[in-house]
A = this chain, B = another copy of it.
Amino acid sequence: MTYRAPINDILLSLNHGAGLAAAVKAGHYGDFDADITAAVLEEAGKFAGDVLAPLNKVGDEHGIKLDNGKVTTAPGWPDAYQRWTAAGWNGVSGPEAFGGQGLPLAINAACTEIWSASNVAFGLCPLLTLSAIEALDAHGSDELKTIYLEKLVTGAWTGTMQLTEPNAGSDVGALRTRAEKQPDGTYRIKGTKIFITYGEHDMTDNIVHFVLARLPDAPAGTKGISLFLVPKFLVKADGSLGDRNDIHASGVEHKLGMHASPTCTMTMGDKGGAIGYLIGEENQGMRCMFTMMNQARLGVGLEGVGIADRAYQQALAYAQERRQGKAAGKKGDGMDPIIVHPDVKRMLMQMRSMTAAARSICYATAVALDVSVRATDAKVRADAAARGALLTPIAKAFSTDIGNEVSYLGVQVHGGMGFIEETGAAQHYRDARITSIYEGTNGIQSIDLVTRKLGANGGASVWALLDELSATVKQVEASNDPAFGTTGPKLRDALASLDRASKWLLERLAAAPNDALAGATPYLRLFGATLGGCMLAGEALAAKANGEAEPQRYVGLARFFAENLAVQAPSLEKTVTDGAEAVNGADAVLLG
């Protein structure tokens, strides 16, 4: 089946859950005209449904082929990419000075969800290009920007991020690719990178690689890493393409999912070294790379949301169509659609509510990142930056966990048919699996949350957020709407658990860091479930207050999430605060 972008859900989430409407009203978005949001998203939904969605299965089945250094993408993909750039979708949030539309990241976040839902392996390519744009825009010289930025913003050329090497994955500081400065100011780069997404393809006539490498005299570890721009084809002064650079795809991976996205081994230095141009300063590569990675982390979180929504839509359609058994207590002949069965309803509600919660967390991250650069008031910008930093690991890890869980349920709703590849449910399940690994595994995200984000300012960013969420819960309680069920008490308990767990972790971070690290993953889940629950409740309140059609849909959704997901908070709190000893005593159990 095809994909229809859930525009109403997206707008409610963006404007109310994520706070775009309030931020616009407060003037933090300058002269941005929020009225265009719906129109942009409608068009995005149309493009996704018409052009990208039909290629999702084609890409999975055909995959890509590497032959003599050239990668051929699946049938229809180069053409779709041409339509993509022609329609301007590559530059939604790109700088206007370089051919972009300059729209907020928040709008692009909603678009990213839509691209990922329709065809995640396709959407991954511009996602990485966007990260490259951010890094180049923030740290590149004017000369490099002039040559490359417009090409990347419009999507005429795509970008790659080249960090990983066989012995340098999560520990990027261990990388060994070498860069030597040449008399002309360029660098010669030699080494091998692995897992390079869209490292080679046939959709554009040039590819701009962003490569981390080490200078001969560089300090060890992450302090000795520099970032280089390495084009596939060198670019002449007039902007036309020159010689082929010494960087080649020497292998592609056979993967569980994302078959249409080429994952390349890239070799530099067969002919003396690839020519690279320094971005930022020498040995400052990690800083530049983090610009790319934070952007990419939010993007990957949105992939989780997108895959989840696609899996949900497909499961919902199947549950309405497939007939097995009868509703409890029903007499007479004939079978009912399986959606009448409470256990199927449960699965669908779980899919929808988890997707909605992850969506709002991701969008809220985007709004925070927008305000951190767009607001006029420095304090507002700083607070928003702290909020964005706090939310990024949650947006990435919680949403991709949920992408996996929802696509699992999507298979389950289909029963035996779900295990058959033809059905398509299994593709979502396979594709989702990488999202909790790449751009920093979800374990890395949870460690980042505990050590860098919670720990950064004595927890100030967390307490500020908890205050806001607490106000939402008060409103739920004050609404006296019986349709909320036990939403109020469940969220109140969740907030108390999150508060206590945060304090416990802060205390242990100083006294016994391994205790804090042991609880990082359940803490992130606790955070996501609490935050998501409060956001969905806030959206339900907004739907009621704003006279949305059928506001009780959102009340029911928030209630389900509170009673099934946020309700896990007290258990997760105990796992964080009581569980460190068992985790850190693992060697005695595991090794013997």
* Contact size range, A: 35 or more
Specify which of B343, B563, B584 is in contact with A447 (CB 8 Å cutoff): B343
> A43 to nearest B CB, angstroms?
23
Are A559 and B588 within 8 A (Cβ)?
A: no
Cβ-based interface call for A344 (8 A): yes
Q: Which residues of B contact A575 (CB under 8 A)?
A: 563-564, 567
Cβ-based interface call for A216 (8 A): no
Cβ-based interface call for A430 (8 A): yes
Interface membership of chain A positions 204-223, coded 1 if the CB is closer than 8 angstroms to chain B and 0 otherwise: 00000000000000001000
> A518 to nearest B CB, angstroms?
4
> A331 to nearest B CB, angstroms?
13
Are B170 and A325 within 8 A (Cβ)?
A: yes
Are B560 and A590 within 8 A (Cβ)?
A: no
- In whole angstroms, how far apart are the Cα atoms of A580 and B556 in the complex? 12
- Which of A102-110, A421-429, A462-470 binds B? A421-429
- Which of A90-98, A234-242, A376-384, A408-416 binds B? A408-416
Are B174 and A345 within 8 A (Cβ)?
A: no
Are B590 and A426 within 8 A (Cβ)?
A: no
Cβ-based interface call for A333 (8 A): yes
Specify which of B420, B436, B582 is in contact with A412 (CB 8 Å cutoff): B436
Cβ-based interface call for A557 (8 A): yes
- In whole angstroms, how far apart are the Cα atoms of A568 and B571 in the complex? 5
Q: Count the copies.
A: 2
Taking CB as reference atom, which chain B residue is nearest A482? Answer: B581
Instruction: Give chain A interface residues in 386-436, CB to chain B under 8 Å.
Output: 404, 408, 411-412, 415-416, 418-422, 426, 429-430, 433-434, 436
- Which of A123-131, A301-309, A346-354 binds B? A346-354
Specify which of B328, B411, B553 is in contact with A513 (CB 8 Å cutoff): B328
Are B169 and A416 within 8 A (Cβ)?
A: yes
Q: Which residues of B contact A101 (CB under 8 A)?
A: none
Cβ-based interface call for A521 (8 A): yes
Q: Which residues of B contact A514 (CB under 8 A)?
A: 328, 342
Beyond the given pairs A256-B419, A486-B578, 17 more chain A to chain B contacts, judged by CB atoms under 8 angstroms and listed by A's residue number, are A169-B324, A170-B324, A195-B416, A220-B333, A256-B430, A339-B590, A345-B584, A349-B583, A412-B436, A412-B443, A419-B434, A550-B588, A553-B592, A556-B582, A556-B586, A560-B583, A567-B574
Report which A residues bind B (CB closer than 8 A): 164, 167, 169-171, 174, 195, 220, 253-257, 316, 320, 323-325, 328-329, 333, 335, 339, 341-349, 352, 404, 408, 411-412, 415-416, 418-422, 426, 429-430, 433-434, 436-438, 441-443, 446-447, 485-486, 490, 513-514, 517-518, 520-522, 550, 552-553, 556-557, 559-560, 563-564, 567-571, 574-575, 578-592
